[in-house]
Structure 1
Amino acid sequence: MKYNNIVKGKFLERPNRFISYCEIDNNIEKVHVKNTGKCKELLIPNSVVYLEESDNPNRKTKYSLISVQKNDRLINMDSQVPNKVVYEGLKNNKIVLPELDEEIIYIKPEKTYENSRFDIYLETENKKAFIEVKGVTLEDNDIVMFPDAKTERGVKHINELIKASNDGYLSYIIFVVQMSDIKYFTPNDKMHKELGDALRIAKKNGVNILAYDCNVTTDTIEIKDEVKVVL
């Protein structure tokens, strides 16, 4: 996954979840934030950020905030990119799905099942699978967690995956860690224990729970390695 027209800036403030103000070439610009999570540990005043400049003259904001420098680590915080990264990872065999021991012959983004729309649907000759993708940007001492805010929608998706698993589909949750060199992934029970409990129940019901970190540069992000999941 590659971005175009990346520029370096300095984060100033975020008046709401969609908008921030950044300094770019000594000018203060209104910037679109491509992540509705809190991201308080990332968007700290004067942090170095990287933004994608749009060539669409009709956009209300000229720039979108893509990544932020946190100490020595560059973290991608674009919440729209994890699905694309997983899709690419499946296509180029960087992501290996347990129980899926046949060649993928059909894959498509987004498919409705019951009351949820899962991020990826795929088929082999004999199997059908749903994948739900979650982006992870919250890190503390090289341990990454999800979520950084309560997400009832996330709990709903997990419960629907349990039903799909019980109905004979292969079911997967893939946590895309939007950074590299981390120790392990774990649910953020302090923030939303209900989601952590749902993940633990899902695992007992046959849902595969995976996490992959990413190689992140100022203008690219791609799947790197599978990382340990601690539930």
Structure 2
Amino acid sequence: MKYGRIIEGRFLSRPNRFVARVEVQGREETVHVKNTGRCRELLVPGAPVRLEVSDNPSRKTKYDLVAVRKEGLGWVNIDSQAPNRVVKEWLETQDFDVIRPEFSYGRSRIDFAMEKAGQTYLLEVKGCTLEVDGVGYFPDAPTERGVKHLQELTQAQRAGFRCGIAFVIQMEGITEVRPNTATHPEFGQALAEARAAGVKVLFLLCRVGEDSLEIVEQREG
């Protein structure tokens, strides 16, 4: 997955979930943040950031904030749209007969449904940007939606689908993701129940390039 033109800047502040103030080439700019999560441990004053330059001249903000450098870790892609994009590219290399995004099941839309030899597979995708002591954690804020997705996958697995949840690790050097039970214990419980039902848990390790994100390894959790 590649971006268009990328430039670097320095994070200053985040007035709300959707925008940030960033120093770009000596000027203070208002930029769009492509992640509505908290990202408090990442978006700290002075942190180096990467911005994609918009090719839409009518936009109010000309930059999208897509990555930030965390001291002691390196670059972290925080683009919340990136995980589904890289997973779609990755699935296209996995020999499925059919790949369908946004599959309706129960009360949810599951990110991907795939078919191979008459078997249907369902895959939900979550991006991981939270790192603590060399381990990835999800979520970084309570997610009732995430709990509902896990419950739907558990039901689907019991109904005969083959289901999985894929954590896209949007940083390098991290090889596993654990449920952030301190922030949302219900998510951890739902993940344990999904595992017990046979839902696969995948960790998708990525290479974070200057203008790209690429899945380079798959591990089972």
Alignment of 1:214-229 (within 5 A): 214-227=206-219, 229=221
Equivalent position amino acid for 2:164 in 1: Y
Q: TM-score, normalised by structure 1?
A: 0.92
Judge conservation of contact 2:201–2:220 (CA < 8 Å) in 1.
Answer: no
Alignment of 1:149-168 (within 5 A): 149-168=141-160
Q: In the alignment, which residue of structure 1 is the partner of 2:132?
A: 140
Q: In the alignment, which residue of structure 2 is the partner of 1:204?
A: 196
SS in 1 for 2:182: helix
Equivalent position amino acid for 2:140 in 1: D
SS in 2 for 1:78: coil
Q: In the alignment, which residue of structure 2 is the partner of 1:3?
A: 3
* Alpha-carbon distance between aligned partners in 2 of 1:158 and 1:82, rounded to the nearest angstrom: 17
Q: In the alignment, which residue of structure 1 is the partner of 2:29?
A: 29
Judge conservation of contact 1:145–1:186 (CA < 8 Å) in 2.
Answer: yes
Q: How many residues end up aligned between the 2 structures?
A: 220
Q: TM-score, normalised by structure 2?
A: 0.97
In the alignment, which of 158, 162, 186 is matched to residue 194 of structure 1?
186
SS in 2 for 1:85: helix
* Alpha-carbon distance between aligned partners in 2 of 1:166 and 1:124, rounded to the nearest angstrom: 19
SS in 2 for 1:191: coil
Judge conservation of contact 2:121–2:161 (CA < 8 Å) in 1.
Answer: yes
1:183-218 Cα shifts (integer Å, max 9, x gaps): 421111100010001000001111111111100012
* Alpha-carbon distance between aligned partners in 1 of 2:220 and 2:103, rounded to the nearest angstrom: 28
> Structure 1: which 5+ residue stretches go unaligned?
94-102
* Alpha-carbon distance between aligned partners in 1 of 2:148 and 2:120, rounded to the nearest angstrom: 21
* Alpha-carbon distance between aligned partners in 1 of 2:116 and 2:142, rounded to the nearest angstrom: 35
User: Which aligned segments of 4 or more residues in structure 1 are displaced greater than 3 angstroms?
Assistant: none
Residues 79 and 109 of structure 1, relative CA distance in 2, 3 Å threshold: same
> Structure 2: which 5+ residue stretches go unaligned?
none
1:58: how far off? 1.4
Q: In the alignment, which residue of structure 2 is the partner of 1:50?
A: 50
SS in 2 for 1:84: helix
Q: Are residues 1:92 and 2:93 paired?
A: yes
How much is the aligned-residue C-alpha RMSD, in angstroms? 1.1
Equivalent position amino acid for 1:135 in 2: G
Judge conservation of contact 1:67–1:218 (CA < 8 Å) in 2.
Answer: no
* Alpha-carbon distance between aligned partners in 1 of 2:161 and 2:219, rounded to the nearest angstrom: 24
Judge conservation of contact 2:175–2:205 (CA < 8 Å) in 1.
Answer: no
Identity fraction in percent: 47
Judge conservation of contact 1:183–1:228 (CA < 8 Å) in 2.
Answer: no
Q: In the alignment, which residue of structure 1 is the partner of 2:80?
A: 79
Judge conservation of contact 1:185–1:228 (CA < 8 Å) in 2.
Answer: no
* Alpha-carbon distance between aligned partners in 1 of 2:220 and 2:113, rounded to the nearest angstrom: 24
Equivalent position amino acid for 2:83 in 1: P
Q: In the alignment, which residue of structure 2 is the partner of 1:18?
A: 18
1:228: how far off? 5.8
